[in-house]
Chains A and B, each alone.
Chain A
Amino acid sequence: NAGVTQTPKFQVLKTGQSMTLQCAQDMNHEYMSWYRQDPGMGLRLIHYSVGAGITDQGEVPNGYNVSRSTTEDFPLRLLSAAPSQTSVYFCASSYGTGSYNSPLHFGNGTRLTVT
C-alpha cells in the first residue's frame, strides 16, 4: 500500500511564484488535511476536507487554496509564495469523515523554501 503520497519532496520558489503541492491517498479515506510544520511551532492545520467537493479552513489558511475534486487527491495551492511560507508541509488522511477513533495517516512531507 502506498498510503499518503506527497510530491514533490523538496521545492525552492522565489517570492511571488505559484505552485501546487500534490497529495494523494489510496485508502479511500474521506477526510484529508494539510498541516505546516515550523521549528518550535509543532504542526498547524491549514485546510481540511471531509469529502469530495467539501473543504474548510483550519488555523492558518491565509495564502493557501485547496480543492477536492476526487476522494483520492487533495492539492494545496500557493498563489503567490512569500518567505513566511517556508516550511515543511504534511498531508494527512483518515477513515470516514474524520473520527477520533481513526488515526491520521501522514505523508512524508514536502520541504518548501521561498527566497
Chain B
Amino acid sequence: AQSVTQLDSQVPVFEEAPVELRCNYSSSVSVYLFWYVQYPNQGLQLLLKYLSGSTLVKGINGFEAEFNKSQTSFHLRKPSVHISDTAEYFCAVPYGGSQGNLIFGKGTKLSVKP
C-alpha cells in the first residue's frame, strides 16, 4: 500500500522568507505524487504533480517540488512567501481503484507572518 508522511504539522515563517514543506512517500509501484493547497474555508486545489520526467516540478503561485527517489521525498519549496500563501498544504499519492483516488497526508499548516 502507498502512503505519505508530512513531517511538519505547522510551519510558521515570516513574509519574503523561503519555505520548505516536507513530504516522504512509500510506494512499491510507479510513483505519482501530488501537492494540493487548501485556503481557509475552501476546498483543495492542485498546486503541482509529478508523473514522470524532470524531477523538478513547477506549480502555480511560484511553488516547486523536487522528486527524490533515493530519499523517497517530494518536498515543496518557495523561495519567497507572501501573506496570501497562508494555507494548509497536502501531499498525496494514488490510492488505487481509479486514477482519481488519492491518499492524502495529514497536512502542513503554513502560517506567513508580516
Give the interface of A toward B (CB within 8 A).
4, 31, 33, 35, 40-45, 48, 50, 56, 58-59, 90, 92, 94, 97-109
A35 to B9, CA, bound (A): 20
- Sorted nearest first, the 9 A-B pairs with minimum C-beta distance are A98-B100, A106-B43, A103-B46, A98-B98, A42-B104, A31-B100, A98-B99, A43-B104, A42-B106
Number of interface residues of B (CB under 8 A): 25
- Between A100, A102, A105, A108, the greatest number of chain B beta carbons within 10 A of the residue's beta carbon is seen for A100
* Cβ of A21 to closest chain B Cβ, rounded Å: 14
The residues of B with any CB-CB pair to A shorter than 8 Å are 9, 32, 36, 41-46, 49, 51, 90, 94-95, 97-107
Cα A36 to Cα B100 with chains together (Å) = 16
